[in-house]
Every structure is written in C-alpha cells, then in structure tokens.
Amino acid sequence: RYSFCINQPAYREKVLALAAELAGHYAGKDFILGWHLDNEYGDEPDCHCPVCRDRFQSWLRARYGSIERLNHAWGNVFWSLEYSHFGQVPTPRASKTSHSPAHLMNWRRFRSDCNVEMIALHAGMLRKRGAMEPITTNFQTWNHRTDYYEAAKALDVCGTNYYAPYGKAWPLEYALANVRSYKKKNFAVYELRNGPHAIPGAAGNTPAPGEVMRLTMHAVGHGADGIYYFRWRACPFGCEQSHGAITDYDGRPKRIYAEVSETGKRLKRIWPLLKETRVESRIATLFDIPTAWVEETGWSFHGPAALYMEHYAKVRRAIRKRHFNCDAVGRNGDFNAYKVLVVSQLSPVDDELVGRLVRFVSDGGTLVWHPASGIKNMETAIYADRLHPALRDMFGIDVREFATSDAREPVSFVFRGETYCGGLFYDLPALQGADALGQYVGAWFERTPAITSRKHGKGRAVYVATFAEEKFYCALIEGLCAESGVKPILDAPENEAVEIVERSAEDGRRFIFLLSYSDKEEFVDLPSPMEDIWNAESIKGRCRIKPHGVRVLSSAVK
C-alpha cells in the first residue's frame, strides 16, 4: 500500500486505461449509481524519486520562468542558497537543518497540484468514456497534503472518512463542515466508524448504546446525504485486524449490528422529508490549506505544528456551542455568501485575496482577524510592516510590536468587563483609527489594546490580537452575530452535552437535530410545538433527550 508514485507515467497510463475499460463497459447501466475514483486520493507519503524531482523542476520553471526570479522570490541570498539553474533545485528531503520556507511551500503546492491533476484526469477519462453518473472519492479532511477545494472541482460529490471519538468529547464537526464547503453541497461519508477498535488504552473508542446512531445522525445533520460504515465484518489478519466493525470476526449480528439496522430503518422512513434539504450558514470560518503548509513544517521558528488546527477547532467549537450553523470557506470561496467571517489564521496572502477580504467588509460583512495572519506574501516572505498595507488600513492599527509566552504562562485581557486568557502570541497594536474593545492586563504591555474594532464601509473589521481561550469566542461571536442579524438555530443556553444543527429546505421547512453527548437525560426548551420525525413524537415546551439520544424536530417556521 502506498508503494506507488502518482507521477510515474506507467502508473498514470494504467490507471486511466482501467478507468476507460470500466466506463466503456458499465457506463449508463441501470445498476450503476456512481463512480468512486480511489481510496483516500492524495494520502500517499511524499515521493522524491527522479520522476518527481524532474517534474518538480519543470513545475518551478513554468512558475518562475527564470532561476533569477526563483532566487529572488525565495530569498535564496539567505544562507547562500542561490541556484544557477533549475536542475540544481532538490526535492526537500530530510536534511541536517530545515529547508527554506519558500522551498517547502512550493513543494507542497507542487505535490497538491499533482494530486489535483491526477483526480481531474481520472474523472475526465470516466466522462470521456460515457460515464454520466456522479463521480466521487473519499478525502481525508484532516490531511493537508492536497488542496481539496481545488480537487473537488473535478467531482460531482465530495466524500470523506470520519472517525470522530465517542464519549463526551465535542465532535470533530469541522471535518464535515470542510467537506460540505468544498463544493458548498451535501456530501457522503464513505468510512464512518461504528464498533470499537480493539486497542488497549484507546480513549473515546467504545460506543455506549445509542452512540452509533447519534454519530450517524451527527453526520447527516451536517450535510451527509450518504453514509457508508467501515467495516462490515472485523478482519482477523492484516494491519487493521483491530479495526471496529458492524459484525465481529465470527460475522454474527450483535449490538452494533442491531443499532446500525435500526438507524437504517429510521433513515429510510424520514429520508423523503430530508432529501432536498441542506445546511445553510450565514457565518463561516476561513479554512486555509496553504496556511497549514506554512505552519505544520515542524520547524521551531513556526511555533507548535498543531497550533493552526487546534486554534481553528477551538474557534469552531465556540461558534457551534452558540448554536450557529457554520461553513468552512476556502481562500478562493465566495465570502459575500456570509455575514460573519472568522479568520483563525491566514498566513500567506496576496493583493487579490486581501482585496476580496476588504470588499467583503466594505459591502457589510464582519471580519474577525488573528495574529500571524496577513503577514506573509505567497512566497512566505514577511511584509515590511508585518501586515499587508491594505489590511493595516482597514483594521486601523499598526502591529509592529508583539510578545510571546508559553502555554503555562498566558497573558490575560479584559473584554466587556470579563477577564479572559490569551495564549502563545500577543500582537501589541497601536490604534490608527480603530477602537479598543479590550486591553491586556498583568504584563509589561498592560493597557495595550487586545481587541480592536473599526467600521469600514458598511461592515466591521475586528482584530483579536492573541489566540484567546474558547469562552471568549463564545461571547465575541454571540455579540457579533447579534449585531449582524445572524440568529442561532435555537435560542437555547449553551450546553456542551447537546449539539444543535439544522438542515432546511427552499420551501421554508426546517429540521433541527438535537444530539446528546451525555450519559444522562438532557433538556432543551422549544419556542413552539414541533414534530420529532426521528422518534415519531409531538413535543411542546421542554424537550427531553435520552442519554446519547437523537431528536430530529420538524418546523415549518423559517
């Protein structure tokens, strides 16, 4: 497994020949529902073979035109890394020290482009040979080797694997939001966990009664129109012999089988109601794969490799705990589809991207910004004033100074009378037209603005100058959404034990999913009588949710 090179001519020739033969034989048959390209496209480790080296050098030649331009763009004067010709540029294998950030960034772009190209060629061959059915594949939304926003353009339906933990842990819903947002369409989960993995010491691993059903409906609630469990029967041998399954090694139906079966029966009953519904969001986080490429190199000067995803997930948890649907728009997406856009981190930017962000605010949007965002160009070089000039003007601040701390010694700040913890990095902005909404306390830079806001055009630009704790984002997002006219799905108190998500139809029908992550009963107060189509009950007033239970409430009110 993963012993191939995606750039090898022989590999590409045989993959496309196989696709051509299959499509030529099966396309248009009544029993063909769709075409799944491959398992986990783009998951293979980086290849440094001669073919990849030569293609990388050709890719660089096409991008820069001359070696002088490459040297200048990458800043190769540092450490005397100037090349004389493209044939000298290596693939970034492991070495005594780190490679140039620009070198690593362009390697990641190249590897992603190779995967995107192969997916497009594969799907294109199926269509060329007459395939009219939907074409799909399963991504791994936590895997940043490939820019899935680009790869999704060749697909009709996006898919993913999803192995969220069981137990009380807040689910990894950002993975589902990502795959939903690649094409802004409903999607499929091609590997959904079910039975426990036989791994001693594994946490969040064994489902209590009801948790497989709840995980399934969690995925459906976030936009899944297809659910495929992995595995059907546990395999007694091989690298995944401990992998959970619907049936055990003996193949006999047991507890997990019964729960999956009941879930399927209920889904079949309610699907005519859910079929034409989707997740509608007026708030989005910006998920940026190039930023992950910058931050996850492992090079100490970039800080903790996990910072980008940990902070991104934290911001999303806060939004979801306040009961808002939330998309995950990419850097090339339509920002104007939203009223509030939260940028947890956006390291490399260019004039075009910054221009669209500024227009989003000018047109009436609310933009939330963070440290280490907008400070680098697309070759990872830092701007002279540490922030793109157009962003500096829009936010009305100058951020030439900063401070850092480790996770054990956070610096606090005050916001709307409450004290919150910052974390790791602290921009020290000087106001140049912005208003201070919060200030640092208890440090040498006490009373320096920690949160700023500035009206720009019809909208608002908010600068959060540190990586703050989760409860701060709950308060911030709730206030900004109220100002922007974005209403929560339900006006209910925050409850970590209950997830609330909504699918809606164009005719105004709403379906609100209440999902319990508690081993005791939970309650949610409803504003009006509703029908629970999942449990076939009418509910008025206080809605009781059994341990690990599911309710799908139907309302015609929009």
Question: Given this model, what pLDDT does residue 223 score?
Answer: 98
Question: Given this model, what pLDDT does residue 298 score?
Answer: 66
Question: Given this model, what pLDDT does residue 383 score?
Answer: 95
Question: Given this model, what pLDDT does residue 306 score?
Answer: 87
Question: Given this model, what pLDDT does residue 267 score?
Answer: 98
**Residue 335: pLDDT band with limits 50, 70, 90:** very high
Helices and strands: H and E segment counts in the chain: 13, 25
Question: Given this model, what pLDDT does residue 4 score?
Answer: 86
* Single-letter code of the amino acid located at 532: D
Span 234-263, average pLDDT: 95
Q: Is the pLDDT of residue 62 over 70?
A: yes
Question: What value, to the nearest 5°, has the Cα angle with vertex 424 and ends 419 and 429?
Answer: 70
Q: Is the pLDDT of residue 356 over 50?
A: yes
Q: Is the pLDDT of residue 297 over 80?
A: no
Question: Given this model, what pLDDT does residue 201 score?
Answer: 87
DSSP symbols for 380-441: SPBPTTSS-HHHHHHHTEE---EEE--TTSPPEEEETTEEEE--SEEE-PEESS-EEEEEEE
* pLDDT tens digits, one per residue of 415-451: 999 999 999 999 999 999 999 999 999 999 999 999 9
How is the beta sheet containing 550-555 ordered, strand by strand? Answer: 498-504, 510-516, 550-555, 530-532, 537-539
Domain 498-555 part of CATH 3.30.230.70: no
Domain boundaries, the chain: 283-484, 498-555
**Residue 473: pLDDT band with limits 50, 70, 90:** very high
Q: Which residue has the higher pLDDT, 400 or 473?
A: 473
**Residue 128: pLDDT band with limits 50, 70, 90:** very high
**Residue 169: pLDDT band with limits 50, 70, 90:** confident
* pLDDT tens digits, one per residue of 25-55: 999 999 999 999 999 998 888 999 999 999 9
Closest CA to 278 of 199, 221, 344: 221
DSSP 113: H
| CB distance 376 to 382 below 8 Å | yes
CATH number of this structure's domain 283-484, picked from the four choices 3.40.50.2020, 3.40.109.10, 3.40.50.880, 3.40.50.150? 3.40.50.880
- Phi, psi (deg, nearest 5) at residue 83: -100, 155
Q: Which residue has the higher pLDDT, 457 or 98?
A: 457
| CB distance 438 to 449 below 8 Å | yes
**Residue 203: pLDDT band with limits 50, 70, 90:** confident
Q: Is the pLDDT of residue 556 over 70?
A: no
Q: Is the pLDDT of residue 557 over 50?
A: no
Question: Given this model, what pLDDT does residue 407 score?
Answer: 81
